[in-house]
Structure 1
């Protein structure tokens, strides 16, 4: 199932008003951790899966990457990315992540930010990413944490006074499709366990370099007190792996 909610006018309008859409990478709470997991991008060929507005592609070039290719299924996303980009060494292509078919060793670095939980066949994507990376190449990804995706409701359990009592986790080992609400619209996500994510990467031929469940830092809490609730349960899962 290839989902393209971002070409639905109402959904795209709501997404465009989010802080990470207007403020860029620095407005994305997980960016500091994601950035720290990236390899040196100087002179590297970079592929961004689910590039959205192109923030990561432009960052890669700012860090000295020789080129960046961003793919996304949404024409709305790509149109905005092209408007915001003035760089002949950045290319945007309309393509589903599931349909990537690049040459072996075509890229030095592959990144994907908060896109792969929308993809059903993670095993296949891991193999395709491994194929298109050079030996020693890096893949850095972030997804919604499996504790966050286990239940389709993706919501706190509230007490009688409206207080957030706990984050419910159920059906954790029942992997697969979840129909949930995001920006007041129904979207399809795919839940998989932490073990499944890591094992898929290993079985595809990657060496795991670093894992993060993104515990908010004191600096993050000072900048945005709303991050306090993220100390109670992980919202993001990040991994940095290397092809061997």
Structure 2
């Protein structure tokens, strides 16, 4: 099932109010860790799958990428990306991640930020990304951490006075669809274990270069409400994998 929740008017309106939607990458707690996992982008052909507002596309061009393509299934997201972009070397295209159709070896770097937990078949995506990468290319992506996605509730266990006692994990090994709530809307995500994600990459032919379970920057801990709670459990998992030459 190809999801296009971001074209729902109410969902998109709520998404547009998020700090990362308003202020971009610097408002994303995981960005500094993600940035360090990227290879040198100078002169590279870059594809961003699930590009959203195009923040990563514009960053790639700031790093002197030769050309950048951003794909997203959402017309509303791409419209906003276009409004924020004034660069002829960035191209946006409405396309689902499951429908990637570029020739083999078209890109040197493929990135994805917080999109793959909406995709049912991660193994198929890894194989297609591997095909699209030129020899020596890199795939760097972030996704919601399996500790975060294991339970559909995706919420803390609270005490009698509403205090956050702990983050419960259950049904970790039961992979598949989770019907959850995000931005006051019902959303379908897909839970998979860490080993499933790593093995999907390895079986596609990738070599794992780096893993990260990012913590928020210290500067955000006391300036962003609730950010200190992000130290108590991992919310994101980030992986950098390379295609051998």
TM-score (norm 1): 0.98
> In structure 1, what is the Cα distance between the partners aligned to 2:223 and 2:102?
40
Contact 2:29 2:217 (8 Å CA) reproduced: no
Structure 1: stretches of 5+ with no match in the other structure: none
Partner of 2:67: 67
> In structure 2, what is the Cα distance between the partners aligned to 1:37 and 1:18?
24
Partner of 2:207: 207
Contact 2:32 2:217 (8 Å CA) reproduced: no
> In structure 1, what is the Cα distance between the partners aligned to 2:217 and 2:21?
22
Partner of 2:13: 13
1:30-65 CA distance string (max 9 Å, x none): 000000000000000000000001111011001000
1:80 and 2:75 matched: no
> In structure 1, what is the Cα distance between the partners aligned to 2:106 and 2:223?
39
RMSD over equivalenced CA pairs, Å: 0.9
What is the Cα deviation at residue 231 of structure 1?
A: 1.2
> In structure 1, what is the Cα distance between the partners aligned to 2:91 and 2:224?
34
Partner of 2:91: 91
What is the Cα deviation at residue 101 of structure 1?
A: 1.7
SS at match of 2:216: coil
Partner of 1:143: 143
Aligned length: 244
Structure 2: stretches of 5+ with no match in the other structure: none
What is the Cα deviation at residue 222 of structure 1?
A: 4.2
> In structure 1, what is the Cα distance between the partners aligned to 2:91 and 2:64?
16
TM-score (norm 2): 0.98
In structure 2, do the counterparts of structure 1 residues 217 and 88 end up closer, same or farther at CA, with 3 Å as the change threshold? closer
Comparing 227-236 with 62-71, greater Cα deviation is found at 227-236
1:222-243 CA distance string (max 9 Å, x none): 4436221111110000001101
What is the Cα deviation at residue 220 of structure 1?
A: 3.7
SS at match of 1:36: helix
1:82-125 CA distance string (max 9 Å, x none): 11111111000000000102111100000000000000010000
> In structure 2, what is the Cα distance between the partners aligned to 1:184 and 1:208?
36
> In structure 2, what is the Cα distance between the partners aligned to 1:135 and 1:241?
12
> In structure 2, what is the Cα distance between the partners aligned to 1:160 and 1:223?
27
